[in-house]
């Protein structure tokens, strides 16, 4: 495995054995928290049993409004080699869950591909990411994960620069999500649980409905059989956005989604935009 930090589009080019990358992580898989029977994800991921949710430390985006700030920006957790991480998974009775939910894993991609190579999971493995991914890494991931669950955050370059320091977010994420669909061409379900496929999530930000409409238009025009989760859970804990999403803003985005045929998937009740819904790390 190349020890230089090329797993994500930022391509820090640092040797993470020596220097931390932009993600604030080194050359081992660091797990911040494992939540068993995690029920807060979309129903097709958590199912009736809940997911085995594995939250990784650090992040290649580090959005300023991140609700998991304690792990994405500050960093905490236990470090594992790929072999040790695989052994960790093998300790669980995986039949007790609907899926394995790998949350914010992008910056550990090569390490996790090594850990999951030839790992025979009885349940789907979900790649739950910010969407800011390298297409060549996505192709490798397609061999070890079953479901891609990417965020599709921004269309506007200034917005992505201001909130995630990633001017090229849309350019990168749009290509990555199309690559995910090329690899997982169909959405397959068993008893309501997604076994294979792509579920695209979009968080509607206060004051940014025009950006949301452009994201939805792109999905409708470029992704075959799109399955989406449109979220209204934004919680103003930190960063420059101080207000919650207005109901009229969310309704406008949902109305547009229906108008352009994005009717397969999920939407949220705005009651979910509370700090009590944020996991405690």
Domain that holds residue 261: 30-277
From 3-7, 20-24, 75-79, 154-158, the region with the lowest mean pLDDT: 3-7
Question: Does residue 2 form part of some domain?
Answer: no
Q: What is the mean pLDDT of residues 82-98?
A: 97
Can you give the pLDDT at residue 23? 83
Question: Does residue 7 form part of some domain?
Answer: no
CATH code for position 133 = 3.20.20.70
Question: Does residue 3 form part of some domain?
Answer: no
Question: Does residue 11 form part of some domain?
Answer: no
Q: What is the mean pLDDT of residues 170-194?
A: 97
Q: Please report which confidence band the pLDDT of residue 277 belongs to, taking 50, 70 and 90 as the band edges.
A: very low
What average pLDDT is seen over the chain? Answer: 91
Quick one: three-class SS letters along the chain? Answer: CCCECCCCCCCCCCECCCCCCCCCCCCCEEEEEEEEEECCCCHHHHCCCCEEEEEECCCCCCCCCCCCHHHHHHCCCEEECHHHHHHHHHCCCHHHCCEEEEECCHHHHHHHHHHHCCCCCCCCEEEEECCCCCHHHHHHHCCCCCEEEEECCCCCHHHHHHHHCCCCHHHHHHHHHHHHHHHCCCCEEECCEEEEEECEEEECCCCCHHHHHHHHHHHHHHCCCCCEEEECCCCCCCCCCCCCCCHHHHHHHHHHHHHCCCCCEEECCHHHCCHHHCCCC
Can you give the pLDDT at residue 41? 86
Question: Does residue 18 form part of some domain?
Answer: no
Q: Please report which confidence band the pLDDT of residue 66 belongs to, taking 50, 70 and 90 as the band edges.
A: confident
Question: Does residue 160 form part of some domain?
Answer: yes
pTM higher than the cut 0.85: yes
More confident residue, 65 or 137: 137
Question: Does residue 134 form part of some domain?
Answer: yes
Can you give the pLDDT at residue 15? 87
Number of domains, the chain: 1
Can you give the pLDDT at residue 11? 83
Can you give the pLDDT at residue 115? 97
Q: What is the mean pLDDT of residues 20-49?
A: 92
Question: Does residue 24 form part of some domain?
Answer: no
Encode pLDDT of 209-243 as tens digits: 999 999 999 999 999 999 999 999 888 777 788 89
Give yes or no for residue 274 having a pLDDT over 70. no
Encode pLDDT of 101-154 as tens digits: 999 999 999 999 999 999 999 999 999 999 999 999 999 999 999 999 999 999
């Amino acid at each position: 495995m190349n020890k230089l930090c090329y797993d994500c589009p930022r391509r820090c080019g640092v040797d993470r054995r020596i220097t931390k990358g932009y993600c604030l992580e080194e050359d081992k898989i660091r797990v911040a928290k494992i939540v068993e029977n995690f029920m807060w994800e979309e129903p097709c991921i958590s199912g009736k049993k809940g997911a085995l949710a594995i939250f990784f430390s650090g992040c290649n985006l580090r959005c300023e409004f991140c609700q998991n700030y304690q792990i994405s920006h500050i960093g905490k957790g236990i470090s594992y080699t790929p072999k040790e991480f695989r052994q960790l998974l093998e300790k669980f009775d995986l039949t007790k869950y609907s899926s394995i939910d790998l949350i914010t894993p992008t910056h550990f991609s090569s390490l996790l591909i090594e850990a999951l190579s030839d790992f025979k999971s009885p349940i789907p493995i979900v790649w739950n990411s910010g969407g800011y991914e390298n297409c060549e890494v996505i192709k490798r991931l397609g061999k070890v994960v079953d479901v891609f669950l990417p965020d599709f955050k921004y269309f506007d370059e200034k917005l992505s620069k201001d909130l995630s320091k990633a001017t090229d977010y849309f350019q990168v994420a749009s290509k990555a999500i199309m690559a995910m669909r090329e690899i997982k061409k169909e959405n397959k379900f068993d008893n309501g649980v997604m076994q294979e496929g792509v579920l695209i999530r979009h968080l509607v930000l206060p004051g940014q409905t025009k950006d949301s409409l452009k994201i939805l238009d792109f999905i409708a025009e470029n992704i075959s059989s799109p399955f989406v989760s449109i979220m209204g859970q934004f919680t103003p804990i930190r960063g420059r956005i101080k207000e919650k999403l207005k109901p009229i803003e969310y309704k406008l985005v949902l109305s547009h989604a229906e108008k352009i045929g994005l009717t397969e998937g999920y939407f949220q009740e705005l009651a979910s935009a509370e700090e009590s819904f944020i996991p405690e790390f």
